[in-house]
């Protein structure tokens, strides 16, 4: 069975990537790993309270469970959640390699300057370092119920 890793930072762009990745998994009959990377020290976004590592990991797993329930409430996809402490790009690549992932799906925000206008720092790192295909889902993409065909594909290599 194919495995898709969907990376999330819980932003609206990431939520769009989750929708896309779940639809892709249905069309490929693939398993999904919903993944979040986090770094220390960290503050909770709503309160600016410092969270120790174990509490932060629990919070991230709770957030992942909420996202899974929100986007696949009827459990139509074989889905597991996983989080890992570390630099985001490196953590994504590490888990993708460990889990023998077939494709990585990640969202991309539309803000930034120069290269970041088109590719965020994590997307740039993944496109340069990943030997696994990476699908970048733009924040504004309207994700329908069924994936029928790609309208455009960009190949990035160095």
Asked whether the beta carbons of 139 and 111 are under 8 A apart, the reply is no
What are the tens digits of pLDDT across the range 13-35?
899 999 999 999 998 999 999 99
Residue spans per domain, the chain = 3-138
Report how far residue 8's alpha carbon sits from residue 22's, in angstroms, rounded to the nearest whole number.
13
CA end-to-end distance (rounded Å), the chain? 30
Q: What is the pTM of this model?
A: 0.80
- Does the pLDDT of residue 78 top 80, yes or no? yes
How far is C-alpha 152 from the chain's CA centre?
A: 20
Matching residue, tokens 């300057």: 113
The number of CA neighbours under 13 Å toward the Cβ of 4 is 26
- CA-CA distances (angstroms) from residue 112 to 32, 95, 109, 120, 152? 29, 27, 8, 8, 22
Does the domain at 3-138 match CATH 3.30.365.10? Answer given as: no
Contact 8, 17 (CB under 8 A): yes
pLDDT tens per residue across span 91-139: 999 999 999 999 999 998 765 554 444 456 888 888 888 889 999 888 7
The confidence score (pLDDT) of residue 150 equals 57
Check pLDDT > 60 for residue 68.
yes
Q: Which residues contact 52 (CB under 8 A, 6 or more apart)?
A: none
pLDDT at 83: 93
Query: Which pLDDT score is estimated for 93?
Result: 94
Q: Check: CB of residue 33 under 8 Å from CB of residue 6.
A: yes
């Amino acid at each position: 069975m194919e495995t898709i890793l969907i990376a999330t930072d819980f932003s609206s762009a990431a939520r769009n990537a989750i929708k896309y990745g779940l639809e892709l998994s249905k069309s490929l009959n693939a398993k999904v790993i919903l993944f979040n990377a986090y770094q220390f020290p960290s503050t909770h976004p709503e309160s600016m309270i410092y969270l120790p590592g174990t509490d932060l990991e629990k919070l991230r797993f709770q957030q992942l469970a909420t996202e899974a329930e929100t986007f696949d409430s009827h459990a139509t996809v074989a889905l597991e959640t996983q989080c890992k402490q570390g630099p985001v790009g490196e953590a994504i690549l590490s888990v993708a390699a460990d889990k023998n992932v077939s494709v990585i799906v990640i969202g991309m925000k539309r803000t930034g300057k120069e290269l970041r206008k088109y590719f965020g720092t994590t997307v740039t790192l993944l496109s340069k370092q990943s030997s696994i295909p990476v699908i970048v889902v733009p924040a504004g993409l309207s994700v329908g119920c069924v994936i029928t065909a790609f309208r455009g594909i960009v190949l990035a290599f160095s």
